[in-house]
Amino acid sequence: MLIPSLVILYILLALFMIIGLLINGVRPAKTLAWLLVIFTIPVAGILLYIMLGRNRRKKRLARLRNNSIELPSYAVNIETDAGQPKYKKMMTLIKKVTHYPPTYHNAVTLLEDGAHTFNKIFEALEKAEHFIYLQYYIFEEGILANKLLMIFEKKIQKGVKIKMIYDGVGSYSLSSSYIKKLKAIGVEAYPFLPFRFGRFLSSLNYRNHRKIIIVDGIIGFTGGINISDKYLRKDKDLVKWHDMHLAIQGEAVSFMEHIFISDWFMVSEKKVAMKTTYKETTDADLKTLVHVVPSGPDDAFPNIEQSYLSIINEAQKYLYITNPYIIPSNEILMALQMAALSGIDVRLLIADKSDSKLVSWTVRSYFDSFLKSGVRIFLFPHGFLHSKILVSDDDIASIGTANIDVRSFEHNYEVNALLYDRDTARILRKNFLRDCEQSTELKMEVHNQRPALNKLIEGTARIFAPVL
């Protein structure tokens, strides 16, 4: 009697979970995938769904967000002043879903790889007079962390306030002794959804993948680079990590500050007033149109996915994407295929070796779909290419933290910066083509000759695409 009763209980529990999926409006393909997992993998299927499938935290996370923070007043009149008629629809869309308008008075600096990026970051931190805000998905101890500790101690002694957020999963290796050192010198540091006994299953799925530094509200940094020494010295497996970061000065920094303060309230439940010291200006050096795009699981729409789709659909000449984790949603996949089939020069630049075998196989499972539609794929052999860049038509570029996968679109807190700037777009195009020349282009005939075992592994890995 016990076994039949357990089977009935399992079926009832599984049905209850599926009803929840249907009520919450999950995509049909994802619902079917979870249905398969729950009914074909006893016990483990339910545990996987509890960890990765439910959106139970969505409402709680939304409640924790401090919606009372006043938005910065800087804005561009999209209809008359944006100067980018091609992207007016996208600007309007992003403003409506994020409440963040594009801003015109900005200067941007591209920061390629770790040494260049951290030199600029340390230079900015040394100049801090009022406050430093920073948040990172990965914060690892080492040369960089020790350097930051030294700077923080010196700046706090001069009255600078420092607040820090680190992700509870991405920064799992950060020791309690280092955190104690931070707090001992006066740094306010909080983890985002840390591991806690009894809450592991419900806290695993939603991560803060953002990388943001704000100094005095004057300069901000974001992009793909985490606090990790692997950006300075060779990784034992991947040799060297390549990445792109961005320094922004001007009005857009206020919106990055708004993101940090909202996240700060989530982790600390403490309100912080906006302290931006930037003043409106007509400085000729601040002339770059920038649109900050945040996204998270408690947003009503997948903001960054929508911005990516908009750029893809507006492309007229070329679309170049550098990203280590291209596991596209059905919408992104179809948009890229349609662009390529329409004669747009669509290219993907991906590292030949990845930091995750499962992710690597899943990425490769989409190669056949891309190649059949004319999307060109280049495999970069010189280390791990971790940049998240999209550039199109010499007039727009996106740089930020978001990968092209369901996790970044639906489960992670991310932030990208859209740059409507010809000079920046041309530099990124030139860099992209340079890297393509150093890479191996994957041809369809070569791809078709891969072993049958590889095809089987790819197909199996693709099952996990919705949760990676």
What are the C-alpha distances in Å from 59 to residues 26, 167, 267?
15, 20, 15
Annotated active-site residue 89? The verdict is no
Question: What is the C-alpha to C-alpha distance for residues 468 and 460, in angstroms, rounded to an integer?
Answer: 13
**Contact in structure between 374 and 467 (CB atoms under 8 Å):** no
CA distances to 126, 174, 274 from 180, rounded to whole Å, are 22, 11, 27
User: Could you confirm whether 421 is annotated as catalytic?
Assistant: no
Q: Which two tokens stand for residue 241?
A: 């990590």
- On whether the CB atoms of residues 240 and 383 are closer than 8 A, the answer is yes
Closest CA to 136 of 167, 179, 115, 96: 167
Reply yes or no on whether 386 is catalytic: yes
Whole-number Å distance between alpha carbons of 451 and 150: 52
Pairing mode, if any, of strands 389-392 and 318-322? antiparallel
- Active-site annotation holder among 245, 386, 405, 421: 386
Name the catalytic one among 209, 245, 258, 411: 209
Exposed / middle / buried, residue 283 (Cβ in 10 Å: 0-12, 13-18, 19+): exposed
List C-alpha distances in Å: 409 to 301, 323, 413, 467: 9, 14, 9, 11
CA distance 113 to 401: 14
Are 151 and 126 in contact by the 8 Å Cβ rule? The answer is: yes
443 is catalytic: no
| Sequence-distant (≥ 6) Cβ neighbours of residue 148 within 8 angstroms | 125, 227
Among the listed residues 105, 163, 211, 242, the single catalytic one is: 211
Kindly report the number of other CB atoms within 10 A of residue 415's CB atom: 27
Residue 211 among the catalytic residues: yes
Catalytic residue among 113, 167, 216, 405: 216
> Which residue is catalytic, options 105, 230, 388, 411?
388
Annotated active-site residue in 243, 263, 298, 393: 393
Sorted by sequence, the CB contacts under 8 Å of residue 249 that are 6+ apart come out as: 106, 107, 108, 218, 219, 220, 286
405 is annotated as an active-site residue: no
Q: What angle do CA 89, 213, 419 make, to 5 degrees?
A: 25
Nearest Cα to Cα of residue 115 among 139, 147, 156: 147
Residue numbers annotated as active site: 209, 211, 216, 386, 388, 393
